[in-house]
Structure 1
Amino acid sequence: VEGARHDRMVTCEATLLLLLILTLMLMSWGWLAHQARARMQKDLPPGPAPLPLLGNLLQLQSGHLDRVLMELSSRWGPVFTVWLGPRPAVVLSGYAALRDALVLQADAFSGRGSMAVFERFTHGNGIVFSNGPRWRTLRNFALGALKEFGVGTSTIEERILEETACVLDEFQATMGAPFDPRRLLDNAVSNVICTVVFGKRYNYGDPEFLRLLDLFSDNFRIMSSRWGETYNMFPSFMDWIPGPHHRIFKNFQELRLFISEQIQWHRQSRQTGEPRDFIDCFLEQMDKEHQDPESHFQDETLVMTTHNLFFGGTETTSTTLRYGLLIMLKYPEVAAKVQEELDATVGRTRAPSLADRAHLPYTNAVLHEIQRFISVLPLGLPRALIRDVNLRNHFLHKGTFVIPLLVSAHRDPTQFKDPDHFNPTNFLDDQGEFQNNDAFMPFAPGKRMCLGAGLARSEIFLFLTAILQKFSLLPVGSPADIDLTPQCTGLGNVPPAFQLRLVAR
């Protein structure tokens, strides 16, 4: 009995000692983490004083976050700190600061900063919001697979031209009657990426496809609103607050179901060694690595990567085209000059091709100016430092959340002649020839450049030139009454809804 009692006492003493050691370790770890956060915050660039918990929320005016950040930059400099609720964010403003960080120190700034609204359903999967080896592996794989199915080659141009003919027929059917072009443009742009990812296109009247495009549009609009901004700052709180932000996740579940059904159909119908599209390529890679426990090619990664390509290949390009048509309605003299150049160079008997771009300096300048002026993703997508860096006399720690304010490069008066107004001469030299500008960065510079940048450039050129070649655009009302102010601006600049009428040329 005495021996058993002694053993129990020894066991209790050992347990207490172990608990004491664990407690000291946790306290030490907590203290070190607190010290690390304190050092990181101490070294942050200056910025407006934050309130506890709220940060700089009261200064970040609803619906004009990009404008407010540029105004703050005029006081605090090109590299400054704002607090998005309890989280600090280092803002890069102006072309020079963006170049110094994203181009000259591209690797250090190649991490993706977490956004709560995306993190909730991506969990770091897919291409856009993954990091480290997973991101590099998926990006390299996607680039190769997309090229295999025509992206960056003449094959994709043929697909865009085929879709251009389809959407022109749909436009023709509206002749003379006012209509909103959003859905038709969404259909056309999405069909191009669908042929690559899903191996097929959808009819413009397909109710399921129209529903999916509406989900994309709804999510882009909500995430670009104050609801989306606030969710990213206070996700745990906003989960309990009623509002349209909850639709983001309902919409995503519906999109997820559609993508999962497409993947299941591919599994059942594919032939090994004969990939038809991106999904088949991914499934083949999954087969090759199925015994590797560290493989990045998993079911969830396929769903998220497909969503990234589907959403990314639709919404921003379609928004740019829609905004482009609205700008042409606002400035009919610009549209007329583009049409004059198209008539002289291409004529009206064949569709414009990518080879014509080099011979259409004014048209090319207009298309670049549309993208510069609207800055469809004004804040870009957030970055995170993958190591400590020095930037503009500031020491920034690994893990720092960074906002690359892309719109500030597009509105930089040191880089553009007339940055606050729509003016195609921003991309023309004194001889009227097209002149590129390194400050033009709608797809974000550096290692996180948009995966579909080349595809988007081709679509913007081919769709808009084809429409302007065939139709005269007439506003519903006076051009002077057209307001180009975004309907909402946060994640994206969403143009106001509008209607137009078409007349055959």
Structure 2
Amino acid sequence: MGISGVLVAALISFLTVQFVTLLWKHRPLPPGPLPLPIIGSLWRVGWKIRQDTLMKLASSYGNVFTLWIGHTPVVVLAGFEAVYDGLTGNPDALSGKPMFPSIKVLGKEKGILFSNCKTWKEQRHFGQAALKKLGQMQKGLVQQIEKEACQLVEIFAQEKGQPLDPSLPIMLSVSRVISSIAFGHPVPTDDKALRELTEHFSTVTKFRGSVGEMIYNVFPSLMQYLPGSHKKVLSSCEFIRSFIKKEIENRKKDGATHEPQDYLGFYLAQMDKEKIDSTTTFEEENLVQVIFDLFVAGTDTLTATLSWALHFMVAHPDIQEKVKKELGSALSSSKSICYEDRKKLPYTRAVINEIQRFSNIILFGGPRVCVDALIVLGRFIEKNFFSHPLSSHLKIENTLVIPDLCSVNLDPKHWETPHQFNPNHFLDKDGKFMVTVHAWGNS
């Protein structure tokens, strides 16, 4: 037997050992596709993740199943009952967040979206409080939203009924509103600069949950030397952070105001309060990342939601007409719509919620790690799995869990017509808007 024969035999032996090891480790986990060496069970997923990718697997293996990404098992919760039982019924057991290689690249374990433990708790709590205060001081923000809405109407009217792609003007408007929340003013006034900035936001959000991100997480060291979407994402992250840092420096030069009027102002005031605390998480790196999170999480999702809203209104002129009539009868023609008006607009609220349900712009919830063992729909999920040398770089010992949000939005047990756009999903028999999860279902 020559050298090549020895190498082939060694490779076959290695893969056989890995295969048997995976089968052994698979035993205590919920059922799922057969894991293979190196690729895990990604052979059942394919190279493009679609709306029904995990739903198809759930139909074969149940609503709590295991999908192997390389040599790392991920427990998937599919369907309303599994996701509700897992996230709401066991919030403490699933309170951990994994620090994948891609997470460290995108967030450097700072901010809200990509942090954990003390940093996550403090930044999230402060962020909620600051945004609530900004909502209560809503006059300036409402005016900015009204201004952007009017500009969008004008842009659409200029097309005089001709086909157009509304996503770019919507994205620019959304970015300006988020900028007003973060910095107290729209950014930047130059269209070219704003377009470049929004393109970088889009690059980052498209990378999240993609096959490219999965591959990067499995082979981070190797991917550093290979071209791909991860390289573009790194460049986009640096561009966005550089932009935010410039805004922060400009604010510092201007000096703090007595009463903060934007997120940056509230955060700088908090930094000043805690500057003598050596353990504080309120420092500039977290500030940059929190504002990064606001832009990245908000720009693409709001743009996609509003674009789908226009699509559904065009595709369903009868529903569009009902919304128009309700707005006309409930509101004065000279009065701008404000948040409080939602109480007078049950059908319009139902339409908005149905847009969010049916558009499915976020297929999966953020991955969680088990900080304790739990049972979901009778399936036992262990706190830990035995790590494998080929996946040790992930430094994750606790079991990963991912909720399939798409399967919740399309669950036939909880929606009368899950695959149809139907605002009645959110209305009771008297036409009143239903606000609780217990009201979801046939109407």
Give the TM interval when normalised to the shorter protein. Answer: 0.7 to 0.9
Deviation at 1:296, TM superposition (A): 0.9
Deviation at 1:124, TM superposition (A): 1.2
Counterpart position of 2:359? 374
The 3 A distance-change label for structure 1 pair 268 and 38 is farther
340, 346, 351: which is aligned to 1:355?
Answer: 340
The 3 A distance-change label for structure 1 pair 167 and 425 is same
Deviation at 1:241, TM superposition (A): 2.7
Counterpart position of 2:202? 217
**For 1:377-396, what per-residue CA distance to the aligned partner results, in whole angstroms no more than 9, with x for missing partners?**
11121112233333334042
Deviation at 1:259, TM superposition (A): 0.8
Q: Indicate yes or no: 2:339 matched with 1:339.
A: no
1 CA distance for matches of 2:116 and 2:285?
Answer: 15
**For 1:449-503, what per-residue CA distance to the aligned partner results, in whole angstroms no more than 9, with x for missing partners?**
xxxxxxxxxxxxxxxxxxxxxxxxxxxxxxxxxxxxxxxxxxxxxxxxxxxxxxx
**Equivalent residue of 1:89, what SS?**
strand
Counterpart position of 1:56? 41
What CA RMSD, in Å, does the superposition of the two structures yield over aligned residues? 2.7
Deviation at 1:232, TM superposition (A): 3.7
| Residue pairs, 1:28-427, within 5 angstroms | 42-150=27-135, 156-202=141-187, 205-223=190-208, 225-271=210-256, 273-346=258-331, 348-391=333-376, 392-397=378-383, 399-427=398-426
- The letter of the residue matching 1:54 is I
Counterpart position of 2:430? 431
- The letter of the residue matching 1:403 is I
Deviation at 1:193, TM superposition (A): 1.9
Q: Which moved more, 1:240-249 or 1:260-269?
A: 240-249
2 CA distance for matches of 1:101 and 1:360?
Answer: 33
Deviation at 1:101, TM superposition (A): 1.3
| Maintained 8 Å contact 1:195/1:201 | yes
1 CA distance for matches of 2:87 and 2:58?
Answer: 18
2 CA distance for matches of 1:317 and 1:241?
Answer: 33
2 CA distance for matches of 1:128 and 1:112?
Answer: 10
Point out the structure with max Rg over C-alpha. Answer: 1
- The letter of the residue matching 2:132 is K
Deviation at 1:280, TM superposition (A): 2.6
**For 1:238-283, what per-residue CA distance to the aligned partner results, in whole angstroms no more than 9, with x for missing partners?**
3333223321111111111101111111222122654342223222
| Maintained 8 Å contact 1:94/1:409 | yes
TM-score where L is the length of structure 1:
0.74
Deviation at 1:116, TM superposition (A): 3.4
Count of residues in correspondence between the two structures: 405
1 CA distance for matches of 2:436 and 2:46?
Answer: 31
1 CA distance for matches of 2:439 and 2:275?
Answer: 42
- The letter of the residue matching 1:430 is K
2 CA distance for matches of 1:291 and 1:91?
Answer: 44
1 CA distance for matches of 2:136 and 2:166?
Answer: 26
Counterpart position of 1:459? none
| Maintained 8 Å contact 2:106/2:114 | no
The 3 A distance-change label for structure 1 pair 316 and 232 is farther
**Equivalent residue of 1:378, what SS?**
coil
1 CA distance for matches of 2:34 and 2:23?
Answer: 16
TM-score where L is the length of structure 2:
0.83
- The letter of the residue matching 1:412 is D
**Equivalent residue of 1:149, what SS?**
helix
Deviation at 1:52, TM superposition (A): 1.0
Deviation at 1:312, TM superposition (A): 1.6
2 CA distance for matches of 1:323 and 1:330?
Answer: 10
- The letter of the residue matching 2:226 is I
Deviation at 1:154, TM superposition (A): 6.4
